Amino acid sequence: MKILPVLAALALTAASGCTTATQPPSLYSHSVIDIGIVCSDLERSVRFYRDSLGLSEVPGFTGAAKVTGDCGLCDYRDVPVRQFTIPGSKGTTLKLMAFTPAPVAINQRYLESSLGLRYLTFFVDDIEAARLRLAKSGVAFLAKGPVAIPGTPLFLAVVKDPDGNFIELVGPRP
């Protein structure tokens, strides 16, 4: 399963420094959005995103306690972060981290169960190849997936990561 270098609805389209008469200058220095996910079990989530979905791990970092506290992200603690990208992409980075004790989980039964970031979308070359790769890791599509997207040659299938976050896979059938 090859994942295309796009995360739906998360890529910014304005190129840095490009403006037109109808478009104001961008405030952003990068044309992508990085996403941070707090995991209950970091190694289990690493296996899911790296081994099951096929993302590539890239060098991570540790957010220093003074920085995480002074900016309001954490209560002054070091935060080790592992980072993943779509293979060959210079786009969106998925940042995984975990805390002890584990934070309280939100209701992940359905999209409408909780507020906040609810899902990630990955565009794949072949929805069946994606299913087979996930099945090798013991991950199955939810409900009736893959489901045809009306008016397109694409199908949508959904899985959940180890903490119940929704992962959409969109792509054609062979």
Q: What is the pLDDT of residue 15?
A: 33
The whole-model pTM stands at 0.81
Q: What is the pLDDT of residue 21?
A: 57
User: How would you classify the pairing of strands 35-39 and 94-98?
Assistant: parallel
Strand segments (E) across 19-118:
35-39, 56-63, 79-85, 94-98
3-state SS assignment for residue 118: coil
DSSP code for 72: T
Please say whether the structural domain 3-11+32-172 has been given the CATH code 3.40.190.80. Answer: no
Q: What is the pLDDT of residue 2?
A: 59
Q: What is the pLDDT of residue 116?
A: 86
Between 16 and 104, the more confident residue is: 104
| Tens-digit pLDDT profile for residues 34-78 | 999 999 999 999 999 999 999 999 999 999 999 999 999 999 999
| Tens-digit pLDDT profile for residues 130-152 | 999 999 999 999 998 899 999 99
Does residue 105 contact residue 163 with C-beta atoms inside 8 Å? yes
Strand segments (E) across 12-153:
35-39, 56-63, 79-85, 94-98, 119-124, 147-148
Q: How sure is the predictor about 3, in pLDDT bands with cuts at 50, 70 and 90?
A: low
Q: What is the pLDDT of residue 22?
A: 67
Going from the C-alpha of 33 to that of each of 9, 30, 78, 171, the distances in angstroms are: 10, 8, 23, 22
**Spans of all domains in the chain:** 3-11+32-172
| Tens-digit pLDDT profile for residues 18-35 | 444 566 777 887 788 899
Q: What is the pLDDT of residue 72?
A: 95
| Tens-digit pLDDT profile for residues 80-136 | 999 999 998 888 999 999 999 989 988 889 989 998 888 999 999 999 999 999 999
Nearest Cα neighbor of 8 from 126, 65, 91, 128 is 91
Q: What is the pLDDT of residue 10?
A: 32
